[in-house]
A and B are shown apart, each in its own frame.
Chain A
Amino acid sequence: MIKTNSVLDAKGLACPMPIVKTKKAMNGLEAGEVLEVQATDKGSTADMKAWAESTGHQYLGTVEEASVLKHYLRKAGGEEQEEKQHENVISNEELLQKIEENQNTIILDVREAAEYAFTHIPTAKSFPMGELEQRMGELDKKSEIFVICRTGSRSDLAARKLTATGFVQVINVVPGMSQWNGPTQISVNE
């Protein structure tokens, strides 16, 4: 079960209806929110991918369960343009090296749960932005903590939030998962 902001039932509908309905549902979401589309039309997977690409939305992936295709899409958002302000940053390559040296490196992945599900660093913990404040208590304020998202923007915001709350060693990973070449893991069935 992957957590999303909204679920659209497009089961039993033939092309073009799954995309027509998805487009409508996306209009009702906030930027950055995730939609699950349930469809039975086999062609819908390729169409979701291509449609997302042409509109700028992020196609996260598809899971097939009992002949229902569940497509996950994240609405295009403006957060990517924001300038990064948190000063303590590290590159993807440097983080990879840290992980190789120490398996206990703490990595917080602040993307949406669905983004995390389709690809994440094996040792990263899922800490979606929306849950960050209430879950801060799980973390030790003195530890070295690496924060990662897709492009470095959401993680910048998260790093600042954590620092403002009293965390002393928070490092933003730039650019983040969009360019990550290290090992990854999928956990769509958890």
Chain B
Amino acid sequence: MTFNSMTAAEVSKKVINKTDLFILDVRNENDFTDWKIEGENFIFRNVPYFNLLDGVEEIIDQIPTNKEILVVCAKEGSSVMVAEMLSEAGLDVSYLKGGMKAWSEHLEPVKIGDLTDGGEIYQFVRLGKGCLSYMVISNGEAAVIDSTRMIDAYIDFADRIGVKIIHVLDTHLHADHISGGRRIAERTNATYWLPPKDATEVTFEYQPLASGKVLTIGHTAIDIHSLYSPGHTIGSTSFVVDGKYLLSGDILFIDSIGRPDLAGLAEDWVGDLRETLYSRYRELSDELIVLPSHFMIIAELNEDGSVAKKLGTLFVENHGLNIEDEAEFRELVTGNLPPQPNAYQEIRETNLGKIEPDVEKQREMEIGPNRCAVR
């Protein structure tokens, strides 16, 4: 039997199309428990590769014959070894090209909708890590928001559709992933915008995103309003694009809300978070479509792979927006917090420009789930 490679892009399509897939994950049990590929119709088995060095006889009966089979490891090498053994044992299998490393780095661009006067907005879904970033396009110009460190994905995409990136924005200082904002701005001669309150320690040039600021992309008036909304970090900012989309950063997600402790100040900022979610956001139109910077679980994906929902719907369905009692709210966002993201302090320092780890180190820092939310 044969064995083939499957790319992260192909796996993404299976997640979005809810295809059946059997995944044999041959990483350590700890790594598997911490973080794995998620898909509604994926079934899993975790057997570390080092338990299969003598052969696959012991597990061959537990592998379904009526499903497509994908072997996954950290970087590819072990999955190739195991895929080869399974193939010799008579199964038709694939291995994940580039392993979980490639899965973590893959970005899937999904069109969210059209803007007034011919513009478009795209969401770049990083399925492996739950990060969402955006490109707003109008009349040959583009803005990139909350970009990941895989900057070629945005630059190539802009080239392909023939637009020039002129503005790069981050809603806040990220603690779960390394921002590509500064490097995209350098490569494309764009302006890099950051909330000044999150950027007091940055070591590079940036433009401050003050509340009330309006940026224009293209000749048509596509405005990005900065709506100052402290909570996740002191400077956390939300943008309203074209009067239609609310880019909520890490303040509000589809099925959860932002955690206030990643800059170390949960107790101080819980009040700000409540103020933003329960007062400032209430003043906005229910018709705004919320586009967050993260998703936590695969169930938050829409049919087309996008992560977006009307603000009015979230006010009804999102548990974090429906806690009347302030003490109970305080308990939710400070009491029972999930573990902090891997290497979040180093990630913050990298985003401030204080340290400059090499790519290999950056990958290692980002391994694992994002854990920016509380439910």
Chain A residues with CB under 8 Å of chain B are: 14-17, 19-20, 23, 42-43, 46-47, 50-51, 54
Contact = CB atoms under 8 A, between A and B. Distances in A.
Nearest to B51: A54
Interface centre among B31, B51, B77 (most CB of A within 10 A): B77
Given A46-B31, A50-B30, A51-B50, 12 more contacts: A14-B75, A14-B77, A15-B49, A15-B75, A15-B77, A16-B50, A16-B53, A19-B50, A23-B53, A42-B360, A50-B50, A51-B48
A47 B28 contact: yes
Contacts of A16: 49-50, 53, 77-78, 81
A47 B78 CA distance: 12
A20 B80 CA distance: 14
Interface string B86-109: 000000000000000000000000
Contacts of A42: 360, 364
Contacts of B51: 54
A42 B29 CA distance: 17
Given A16-B49, A20-B53, A42-B364, A50 B77 contact: no
The interface residues of chain B, by DSSP majority, are classed as helix
A17 B29 CA distance: 19
A42 B101 CA distance: 13
Contacts of A47: 28, 48, 50
A2 B122 CA distance: 57
A43 B75 contact: yes
A17 B28 contact: no
A15 to B, nearest CB: 5
Contacts of A17: 77
Interface of B: 28-31, 48-51, 53, 73-75, 77-78, 81, 360, 364
Contacts of A19: 49-50, 53
A16 B27 CA distance: 10
A47 B48 CA distance: 9
Contacts of B74: 15, 43
A50 B29 contact: yes
A15 B31 CA distance: 15
A9 to B, nearest CB: 18
A21 B81 CA distance: 14
A50 B48 contact: yes
Contacts of A50: 28-30, 48, 50
Contacts of B29: 50
Nearest to B28: A50
A23 B81 CA distance: 15
Nearest to B82: A16
B107 to A, nearest CB: 24
13 contacts: A14-B75, A14-B77, A15-B49, A16-B78, A16-B81, A19-B49, A23-B50, A42-B364, A47-B48, A50-B50, A54-B48, A54-B50, A54-B51
Closest 9 pairs between A and B when the two form their complex, measured CB to CB: A16-B78, A51-B50, A50-B28, A15-B77, A19-B50, A14-B77, A16-B49, A15-B78, A16-B81
Contacts of A20: 53
A93 B30 CA distance: 34
A140 B369 CA distance: 59
Contacts of B360: 42
Contacts of A23: 50, 53
Contacts of B77: 14-17
Nearest to A19: B50
A67 to B, nearest CB: 11
